[in-house]
Amino acid sequence: MKALLRNSLITFITVMSISCIGNVKAYAENTKTVKFGGKKKNVTLYVGEKLNIKVKKYTSSSKKKKLVFKSNNKKVTVTKKGIIAAKKTGSAKVTVKAKNSNKKTIIKVKVKKAPKDKVVGLNYKVNWRYKKVKTYNSTDYIWNNGILTGVKKGAKPIYIKQKTTINSYKLSWLALDGADGYEVQRWHFVTDWDTKGHWETIKDTKKTSYKITDFAMNELAKIKIKAYNIVDGEKVYNNSSGTISIRTEASSTCYKEPLVNRWKSEEAFYLQNKVREKAGVDLLKWDEDLYTFACYRVEGRVKGYYKDHGWVDSMFDAFTNNIFDFGTNPLGENYYSSSKEKSAKDSIVAWQNSKGHYESMISKLIKFGAIAMGSGESYAVFTE
């Protein structure tokens, strides 16, 4: 059995450098992108909600114009950065202009009363760690033939705050009148009993906020909130909030993540099943034993027990303990390597663009599998 596992498992191995985390994009109900100078946009908000306006195509020549946001009614306010806040029921027009330009964009905002059976206002804020950095006024530096050689005597240093790493992502939402508590739920892309995914409660709280501190780079998280009341000792749920999606991206700031990231592993497996579905073949079923084995393989690569597809016999025995039985017809393996940080989607796309990898991905012979991603490594194993 060990020889079969070593030499002939259907195995997809992806090597990634996952060591940093950076800026965040929100694809959520609280963000709207508008084209500068384009058609009027209509949005509806509940009292207390905020909307972040992102404006595209507002450059002129090589010089960027400064945008000016203005509301015509106090029922709706807007900040200099384009964050709209719904204060009272009614309607208002938010105008976006650029200095030295006749173009403008108008956003018509309608404000309604918050529903009594649904959480609204789901939003998030990125909390950064900072460090003090010493610098000087540009006139205090001494230059010699374009080379910085020192600082003028008596120059006073200036200390500024500089972002280093992300500390947490703080979710917040509006309180629902009469609610006894809230469940923060996150989408599981796949499990051993559900190939189409399900929502899992990651926090039960009476507060209207929650901090997430364990995101990895290039990770996708879908979050929603459910309010509930306690009736006769049982939870009675209200309608769910809208879903907010957070995708973390690469940057120069470093972030330490766990050895294996379950969420990213599930996302990769889910995306691979989408490829199989498009090809007209049956979806693979997630197997927990295979996932455990894949995690061992990731750990083995991280700790240097093997470099490519091989495995030192003593380490193989130590990691597997002869407890895995994956069937009788295992096949070959695929391997993918990249020096840049990759997401689950990047890995799947790379396999799709390789004839051999793609043929293995859509094989009709395999039925079960799992993927482990994390610590710069990704390993997927499949069997009949």
Q: Do both 131 and 108 map to the same domain? A: no
Query: In Å, how far from its chain's centre is CA 131?
Result: 25
Domain-embedded: residue 10: no
Domain-embedded: residue 284: yes
CA distance 4 to 42: 61
Domain-embedded: residue 87: yes
Question: Domain range for residue 226?
Answer: 122-248
**Adjacent-strand bridge partners of 286:** 369
Domain-embedded: residue 36: yes
CA distance 333 to 178: 56
Domain end position, chosen among 112, 140, 164:
112
CA distance 22 to 24: 7
Q: Do both 233 and 296 map to the same domain? A: no
Backbone angles phi, psi at 93, to 5 degrees: -115, 130
Backbone angles phi, psi at 287, to 5 degrees: -125, 125
Give the chain's end-to-end CA distance (angstroms, integer): 15
DSSP 172: E
Domain-embedded: residue 89: yes
CATH number for position 353: 3.40.33.10
Domain-embedded: residue 206: yes
What is the pLDDT at residue 15? 33
Q: Do both 152 and 93 map to the same domain? A: no
**Adjacent-strand bridge partners of 203:** 184
Domain end position, chosen among 189, 221, 248:
248
> Angle at CA 318, nearest 5°, toward 316 and 319?
65
CATH number for position 131: 2.60.40
**Adjacent-strand bridge partners of 172:** 123, 209
How do residues 311-369 score in pLDDT, each as one tens digit? 555 545 544 444 444 443 345 566 666 656 578 888 888 889 989 888 888 989 888 88
- Please spell the DSSP secondary structure of 61-122, one letter per residue: TTEEPPEEEEESSTTEEE-TT-EEEE-SSEEEEEEEEETT---EEEEEEEEEPPPSSB----
Q: Do both 159 and 234 map to the same domain? A: yes
Which residue has better confidence, 336 or 38? 38
**Structure tokens belonging to residue 38:** 């384009």
Q: Do both 292 and 212 map to the same domain? A: no
Q: Do both 278 and 324 map to the same domain? A: yes
CA distance 106 to 39: 8
Reported pTM: 0.73
Q: Do both 215 and 270 map to the same domain? A: no
How do residues 129-164 score in pLDDT, each as one tens digit? 788 988 999 899 999 988 889 999 999 999 988 877
How many structural domains does the chain have? 3
pLDDT greater than 80 at residue 308:
no
Domain-embedded: residue 7: no
Q: How many CB atoms lie within 10 A of CB 86?
A: 25
Between the CA of residue 314 and those of 221, 293, 311, 325, what are the distances in Å?
A: 38, 16, 8, 19
Domain-embedded: residue 253: no
Q: Do both 133 and 107 map to the same domain? A: no
Domain end position, chosen among 64, 79, 112:
112
CATH number for position 43: 2.60.40.1080
Q: Do both 99 and 178 map to the same domain? A: no
Instruction: Identify the weakest region by mean pLDDT among 87-91, 302-306, 314-318.
Output: 314-318
